Amino acid sequence: MICENILLEKKNAIAYVTVNRPKVLNALNMATMEELRVAFTDIKSDAAIRVAILTGAGEKAFVAGADIGELAKQDAVSGKEYAHRGQAVLDLIENLGKPVIACINGFALGGGCELALACTMRLASENAKLGQPEVKLGIIPGYGGTQRLARLVGKGLAMQMVLAGEMITAQEAHRIGLVNEVTALAELIARAEAIAAKIVANAPLAVQYAMEAVNKGMEMTLAEGLFLEASLFGVCCATSDKAEGTAAFLEKRPAVFKGR
């Protein structure tokens, strides 16, 4: 796959996706969004890949936001389509069926913060800054920021971030639950790889169904979510991986999962 704005590498069941526009702090233009769509579609269909790690090139930014020059040209009709196209890419990432770990290595603002929100979990370097500053440009978040942020940190904190448009530190992001962990910049990818290795050791279908239960259950009542959980639990019980996992436990040996 040949891309101008991102890098895609695959190694040890992990796909590494890097937004590679460091001269503009990895800002998201539509060309970059399309390359992300192609890359994650490829990852979704590649059975050898179990986890993806998403980051930005350089040491200053994960993704510093949208391409303002491109954004300035949007009108009511094109702006709605612009938002829908971006949302579709982030929906693909959120519902990939494989965990995506965001390694936030600097600024994650606007579309960059929204990109991180769509990931399964978020790790941040100590120098990271996160925010939704769209109101400073006369617009609102358009890639899911008004929806995923409130679901993650609560309505009040989301309102404060969106309406004030101010950046918060990695440490504050961790305090409010926006990021899972904060680590030194030099250790960020290694920490993501350590988490990824633990995920890779588990049953692929169980990981996929667990993610589906959490993601879909967030949009349901508790009773509906519990019904979904029980249904997916039942599906897991019919897999070869469940037979292997339980047999391995009883026989006191490592399980060998095949995703079936």
Pair of tokens at residue 73: 């040209």
3-state secondary structure at position 57? coil
User: Of 134, 187, 212, 224, which residue is the catalytic one?
Assistant: 134
Pair of tokens at residue 107: 């600024």
Question: H or E segment at 18?
Answer: strand 14-19
Output phi, psi for 65, to 5 deg: 140, -165
3-state helix, strand, coil in the chain (%, to 5): 50, 15, 30
CA distance 200 to 98: 10
Mark whether 114 is an active-site residue.
Answer: yes
| Structural contact between residues 53 and 15, judged by C-beta atoms closer than 8 angstroms | yes
Question: H or E segment at 210?
Answer: helix 204-217
CA distance 190 to 183: 10
Number of H helices, E strands in the chain: 11, 10
Mark whether 34 is an active-site residue.
Answer: no
User: Residue 25 CB: number of other CB atoms within 10 A?
Assistant: 20
Place of tokens 């269909």: 45
DSSP state, 55? E
User: Of 114, 166, 181, 224, which residue is the catalytic one?
Assistant: 114
What's the burial of 244, exposed, middle or buried (CB within 10 Å: 0-12/13-18/19+)?
middle
Active-site annotation, residues: 114, 134
